[in-house]
Amino acid sequence: MENQNEGRGHDLKRRSFIKKSLAAAAAGTLPAPFIWPTGAHAAPTVKMGILHSVTGTIAIAEKSVVDAEMLAVEEINAAGGVRGHQIEAIIEDGASDWPTFAEKARKLIGKDKVAAVQGCYTSASRKAVLPVFEKMKGLLYYPTYYEGLEISPNIMYTAQEATQSSIAATDWLFENRGETFYMVGSDYIWPRTTIKLSTMALKRLGGKSLGETFFPLGHIEWSSAINKIKATKPKVVLNCVVGGSNVAFFKQMKAAGIIDDPNITVLSLAVSEEEVSGIGRENAAGSLTLMGYFQSLDNAANRKFVSGFKAKYGQDRVTGDTLACGYTGVYLWKLACERADSFAVKDVVEASSQLPIRAPEGNVWFHKDNHHLWKYARVGEFLPNGQVNMIYESELIEPDPFPKVV
């Protein structure tokens, strides 16, 4: 135990140190980084990019994914962060424009030095940023169902590829709703490739495509497509329209009697509960969707996700497949960093092999080597309240990004 004089001496030395330090700070001569000699220190941070369209025609489907990812970030930070680091989220707007996505990706990786990015929605935006991530050695978690036919060492795919989505839908529809299809899509890579794969799968089953129609993103005049549907009288309309165009498409299909026609099944591959909020519940009710996740799923992880989302953003807000995949993607990155005890991209990717998670969609895990998750395929019918009544659930489907469909 120190005596009184010794204590007084230490106190004088401490005061002198603080006085000199403050003077040095004021003079701009304090060396960096400066560590205060006593007191609490702020937790270190790790940067994560969030890159989605919060403006433009795709914002109807993509803007809310940012909300879901930020919910995961806040939950993780409140629980202590990742490897003792608080996540610092840097949000960029891809503005529904593919060159803008590439530009923002370069900024996040090169200037902001993010450890990972949660981002993109359309395949066109993913294809735009893919060479950026590969060249600059970044890491993207991609939360949207897509056409497959891709494996990148710098992308982790947290949603469905074709065997878990369009091909699964084609198989179920052929068996349960009819053998003739008419297919409609937005004019870019995901709808075109998805419809091509579905047509091949349908032919393999012995069914027939009666036609297909594509229109640009943002298209709002659907009379020609609706006239073709009414003229060909298919048993199934496979809808691969994306984004804000669905508002007009569903409204016009409803007015034309297609949605309520008992002899036609309309199934959408890019419409979840979230999109129905913009489309109009009354316009979508009675149509089907195939997703890996529905808000109505009853498990502990989903109850936590839905209640947390509504508590933060409002009780009238809904979740959907891409929101759940975005939310899960943040947690998958956290788990991989902790398994690897590293934030380095190479280490995180290696640690992701067969990484399991109790997600809102159920218990899933990454494939051992193709960067995709094992997934459920679920078919549901939209109800008048905008929610989904699930009518089919597959077993877990092993991801196969390069399927043989013929």
Per-residue pLDDT reduced to its tens digit, 239-269: 999 999 999 999 999 999 999 999 999 999 9
Q: Judge whether residue 380 has pLDDT over 50.
A: yes
Per-residue pLDDT, 8: 39
Angle in degrees, CA 24, 27, 30, rounded to 5: 40
Q: Judge whether residue 127 has pLDDT over 90.
A: yes
Secondary structure of the chain in HEC code, one letter for each residue: CCCHHHHHHHHHHHHHHHHHHHHHHHHCCCCCCCCCCCCCCCCCEEEEEEEECCCCCCHHHHHHHHHHHHHHHHHHHHCCCECCEEEEEEEEECCCCHHHHHHHHHHHHHHCCCCEEEECCCHHHHHHHHHHHHHHCCCEEECCCCCCCCCCCCEEECCCCHHHCHHHHHHHHHHHCCCEEEEEEECCHHHHHHHHHHHHHHHHHCCEEEEEEEECCCCCCCHHHHHHHHHHCCCEEEEECCCCHHHHHHHHHHHCCCCCCCCCEEEECCCCHHHHHHHCHHHHCCCEEEECCCCCCCCHHHHHHHHHHHHHHCCCCCCCHHHHHHHHHHHHHHHHHHHHCCCCHHHHHHHCCCCEEEECCEEEEECCCCCEECECCEEEEECCCCCEEEEEECCCECCCCCCCCC
Q: Judge whether residue 31 has pLDDT over 80.
A: no
Per-residue pLDDT, 3: 42
Mean pLDDT to the nearest integer, 160-170: 97
Per-residue pLDDT, 406: 54
Residue 121: count other Cβ atoms within 10 Å of its Cβ: 30
Q: Are 329 and 144 in contact (CB under 8 A)?
A: no
Residue 177: count other Cβ atoms within 10 Å of its Cβ: 16
Type of residue numbered 271? V
Per-residue pLDDT, 29: 34
Question: What tens digit of pLDDT does each residue of 287-346 get?
Answer: 999 999 999 999 999 999 999 999 999 999 999 999 999 999 999 999 999 999 999 999
| More reliable by pLDDT, 40 or 163 | 163
Task: Please give the Cα distance from 79 to 148 (Å, whole number).
Answer: 35
Q: Judge whether residue 275 has pLDDT over 50.
A: yes
Task: Please give the Cα distance from 72 to 330 (Å, whole number).
Answer: 6
pTM, entire model? 0.87
Take residue 65 and report the two structure tokens written for it.
Answer: 């994914």
Paired sense of beta strands 378-382 and 288-291, if any: antiparallel
Mean pLDDT to the nearest integer, 102-121: 98
Per-residue pLDDT, 11: 42
Q: Judge whether residue 126 has pLDDT over 70.
A: yes
Q: Judge whether residue 37 has pLDDT over 50.
A: no
Q: b/e per residue, 276-312, with b = 16+ CB within 10 A? A: bbbbeeebbbbbbbbbbbbbebeeebbeebbebbeee
In percent, how much of the chain has pLDDT > 90?
88
Q: Judge whether residue 150 has pLDDT over 80.
A: yes
Q: Judge whether residue 13 has pLDDT over 80.
A: no
Averaged pLDDT of the chain = 91
Query: What confidence tier does 405 reach under pLDDT thresholds 50, 70, 90?
Result: confident
Question: What tens digit of pLDDT does each residue of 203-226 get?
Answer: 999 999 999 999 999 999 999 999
Q: List, in order of start, the domains of the chain with CATH numbers.
A: 45-161+298-376 (3.40.50.2300), 163-291+380-393 (3.40.50.2300)
Q: Name residue 358's beta-bridge partners.
A: 363
Q: Judge whether residue 20 has pLDDT over 50.
A: no
Take residue 70 and report the two structure tokens written for it.
Answer: 């930020």
Per-residue pLDDT, 22: 35
Query: What confidence tier does 229 reach under pLDDT thresholds 50, 70, 90?
Result: very high
Angle in degrees, CA 390, 394, 397, rounded to 5: 135
Q: Judge whether residue 14 has pLDDT over 80.
A: no
Task: Please give the Cα distance from 271 to 274 (Å, whole number).
Answer: 8
Per-residue pLDDT, 18: 36
In the block, which residue shows the tokens 């030395």?
13
Paired sense of beta strands 45-52 and 86-93, if any: parallel
Per-residue pLDDT, 43: 87
Q: Are 377 and 171 in contact (CB under 8 A)?
A: no
Q: Judge whether residue 165 has pLDDT over 90.
A: yes
In percent, how much of the chain has pLDDT > 70?
90
390 Cβ neighbours under 8 A, 6+ residues apart: 294, 296, 297, 378, 379, 380
Take residue 260 and report the two structure tokens written for it.
Answer: 């309520």
Mean pLDDT to the nearest integer, 45-57: 97
Question: What tens digit of pLDDT does each residue of 64-95 get?
Answer: 999 999 999 999 999 999 999 999 999 999 99
